């Protein structure tokens, strides 16, 4: 029953044309291997076909339901970076159409990277973690575009999801937060005046960074106490420019927040994370936030 229900949910989220080419299946040769290299939470599994290596990676930069995925294989040589790919996770599902960043790779030939994948049950999006039960029902990762159809026969993705959750739980603890409390939240922390915060982030663009043409994306998290005050800032992904990172942290630390509420509805300490892109225009710095 659970599998049938999940298949219906997934099919409602997915859409795309049928595969045009014959499917090529690559088999795993290692178990899932977890790492925290670079401060990221990552799990990867190696595959092989005809002596050629292939790789599947799931990754998170911070606690949450969303994760990124990278697939690396010489069988992806014909992928067109300008066109979307279809990602499939169950037999018979049409595939989730997503834009991927496609890059050459010396060892694997081509790598396709997709960000912000998130799957959750009808009860709603979970707080601070991946829904392991949902990913446990996924038994493959297929990549389709044109005549390319590669099936990474991973088996259940539940183990990979559990490993990522274990890693991000440790991240929450390092922020002074109890993972179990965060998982049971009724509502998450959120800026009281999001538009005002966006203006403050724009104004915070350091003149020295602007003159030096420094720009780029970064991710930060405000640690928010039960009264809605930011008590700290965590740099999750750096822009590679300390002035930009510090400016973003200063702005989100000055903002006021609606505090998170626990399972009983009481305000509790939590966090609010966001991705910010500082970009340069011909006149003024431009801030974009997804």
Using alpha carbons, select from 157, 126, 121, 132 the residue that is nearest to residue 9.
121
pLDDT for the residue numbered 289: 52
> Residue 262 sits in which domain range?
185-288
Report phi then psi at 261, rounded to 5.
Answer: -125, 135
DSSP letter for 18, please: P
Instruction: Give how many domains the chain has, as a whole number.
Output: 2
pLDDT the model gives residue 135: 96
Q: Which of 122, 152, 174 is the last residue of a domain?
A: 174
Note the pLDDT of residue 6. 43
Q: Which of 290, 273, 285 is nearest to 205 (CA)?
A: 285
> Do both 160 and 258 map to the same domain?
no
Q: What is the pLDDT of residue 5?
A: 35
Query: Are 53 and 26 contacting, i.e. CB atoms less than 8 angstroms apart?
Result: no
In a domain, 179, yes or no: no
| CB under 8 A, 24+ apart: contacts of 250-255 | 250/204, 251/197, 251/200, 251/201, 251/203, 251/204, 252/197, 252/201, 252/220, 252/222, 253/222, 254/200, 254/230, 255/191, 255/192, 255/193, 255/196, 255/197, 255/200, 255/222, 255/230
Beta carbons of 125 and 9 less than 8 angstroms apart: no
CB count within 10 Å of CB 190 equals: 14
**Within this chain, do residues 23 and 162 fall inside the same structural domain, yes or no?**
yes
The pLDDT assigned to 28 comes to: 98
- According to the model, what pLDDT value does residue 29 have? 98
Task: Give the angle subtended at the CA of 148 by the CAs of 144 and 150, to the nearest 5°.
Answer: 65
What confidence score (pLDDT) does residue 122 get? Answer: 66
Assess if residue 93 is contained within a domain: yes
Tell me the Cα Rg of the chain. Answer: 21
Residues 249, 120: Cα–Cα separation, whole Å: 30
Whether residue 152 sits in one domain with residue 111:
yes
Last residue of a domain, one of 174, 207, 223: 174
pLDDT at 94: 77
Q: Are residues 150 and 94 in the same domain?
A: yes
**Complete DSSP assignment for 191-257:** ES-HHHHHHHHHHTS-HHHHHTT--EEEEEEEEE-TTSBEEEEEEEE--S-HHHHHHHHHHHHHSBE
Do 161 and 215 lie in one domain? The reply is: no
Do both 206 and 108 map to the same domain? Answer: no
Low pLDDT (below 50) residues in the chain? 1-19, 282-283, 285, 290
Whether residues 70 and 167 share a domain: the answer is: yes
Give the per-residue pLDDT at 14: 47
Q: Is residue 56 part of a domain?
A: yes
Domain CATH for 192: 3.30.2420.10
Please report the pLDDT score of residue 1 as a whole number.
37
Q: How much is the pTM?
A: 0.86
Residue 167 covered by a domain: yes
């Amino acid at each position: 029953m659970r599998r049938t229900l999940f298949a219906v949910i997934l099919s409602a989220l997915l859409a795309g044309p049928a595969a045009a080419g014959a499917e090529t299946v690559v088999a795993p040769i290692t178990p899932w291997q977890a790492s925290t290299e670079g401060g990221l939470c990552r799990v990867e599994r190696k595959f092989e076909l005809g002596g050629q290596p292939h790789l599947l990676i799931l990754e998170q930069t911070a606690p949450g339901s969303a994760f990124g995925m990278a697939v690396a294989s010489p069988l992806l040589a014909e992928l067109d970076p300008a066109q979307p790919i279809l990602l499939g996770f169950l037999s018979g599902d049409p595939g989730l159409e997503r834009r991927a960043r496609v890059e050459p790779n010396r060892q694997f030939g081509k790598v396709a990277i997709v960000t912000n994948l998130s799957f959750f049950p009808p009860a709603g999006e979970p707080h601070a973690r991946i829904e392991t039960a949902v990913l446990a029902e996924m038994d493959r990762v297929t990549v389709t575009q044109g005549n390319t159809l590669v099936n990474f026969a991973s088996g259940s993705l539940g183990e990979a999801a559990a490993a990522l959750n274990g890693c991000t739980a440790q991240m929450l603890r390092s922020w002074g937060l109890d993972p179990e409390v965060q998982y049971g939240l009724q509502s998450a922390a959120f800026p009281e005046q999001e538009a005002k915060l966006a203006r403050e982030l724009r104004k915070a663009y350091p003149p020295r960074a602007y003159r030096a043409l420094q720009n780029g994306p970064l991710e930060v998290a405000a640690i928010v106490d039960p009264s809605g005050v930011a008590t700290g800032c965590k740099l999750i992904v750096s822009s590679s420019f300390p002035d930009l990172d510090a400016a973003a942290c200063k702005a989100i630390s000055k903002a006021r927040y609606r505090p998170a509420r626990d399972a009983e509805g009481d305000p509790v300490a939590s966090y609010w994370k966001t991705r910010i892109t500082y970009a340069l225009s011909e006149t003024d710095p431009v801030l974009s936030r997804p």
